[in-house]
Structure 1
């Protein structure tokens, strides 16, 4: 007869649970609804608000030229103003990504008046696959908002399409 070791069984079960939790980048969230997102560019801080107050905050990286409102394609700036979350990309080159509705009508009109493109494809996303550590080199994107992979998993689970995002200088 083989004697079973309950401690070993418990440890093996615990390890299996931990490893299965690491297997997916898609998390579930059953907490309060995120009603608004605020980004404070100068503080490099992303804030998720619910109806009762702040739900979560994250340090962020921005575009490689972080000062000022995005005006043209390739300027390396992160937009400022009020937008909405309008799409998500589970197959992003940046782990996961959540789209922001830039450019709006005013952004398009301004760029057109200057004979330029306003650009687009502004996202909240995780880190790249080519070795930049988003916490050690903060402002490396082309205008997007970067967080760590683990943080974007949380944001991706918490935020729904249609959520407003206010981006402040």
Structure 2
């Protein structure tokens, strides 16, 4: 085995043991209140999540209190949010827009994964039991810190019922 191959193998093994494989996708299971980070199709981390105030079903219009379902991208991070960090979900997609327009409605937008409202992080021991957002996915601030650090912009997110 060449010296270069041995070095590369050691680096890869170190990353595997350190749990530092890059996150390839995010999966949300609304009915189970879970947000999962996946690498090589395996769940590497799992967090408790809460959703819109009307969590059943796919978001169809602005103000419906629903969290979208489907496949989107986490397209940008927002550190200056009204909440403890936020990662934007690329909702609405073309189909969401067309569906809302067919009903003469607005699809809504600004759906994010975020922590608690700034200054209210101490309430997460209560808010974790309530679907309180306008359609976003809320985590505890500590969990949001991990997601923020591990998930890169452009990562796929799949939101399931």
Contact 1:36–1:164 at 8 Å: present in 2 too?
A: yes
Q: State the SS of the aligned residue for 1:111.
A: helix
The match for 1:101 among 90, 93, 100 is 90
Q: What is the CA-CA distance between 1:157 and the residue it aligns to?
A: 0.6
Q: For the pair shown, which has the larger CA radius of gyration, 1 or 2?
A: 1
Distance in 1 of aligned mates of 2:124 and 2:109: 21
Q: State the SS of the aligned residue for 2:97.
A: helix
The match for 2:126 among 124, 130, 136 is 136
The match for 2:65 among 66, 73, 76 is 76
Distance in 2 of aligned mates of 1:152 and 1:30: 18
Gaps of 5+ in 2: 1-17
Give the direction of change, closer, same or farther, for the CA distance of 1:100–1:52 in structure 2 (3 Å limit): closer
Q: State the SS of the aligned residue for 1:136.
A: helix
Number of aligned residues: 141
Bigger share in helix: 2
Q: What is the CA-CA distance between 1:46 and the residue it aligns to?
A: 0.4
Q: What is the CA-CA distance between 1:134 and the residue it aligns to?
A: 3.8
- Name the counterpart of 2:112: 123
The match for 2:100 among 91, 111, 123 is 111
Cα RMSD, aligned residues only: 1.7
Distance in 2 of aligned mates of 1:124 and 1:50: 19
Distance in 2 of aligned mates of 1:79 and 1:109: 15
Give the direction of change, closer, same or farther, for the CA distance of 1:149–1:69 in structure 2 (3 Å limit): same
Distance in 2 of aligned mates of 1:130 and 1:44: 24
TM-score norm. by structure 2 comes to 0.83
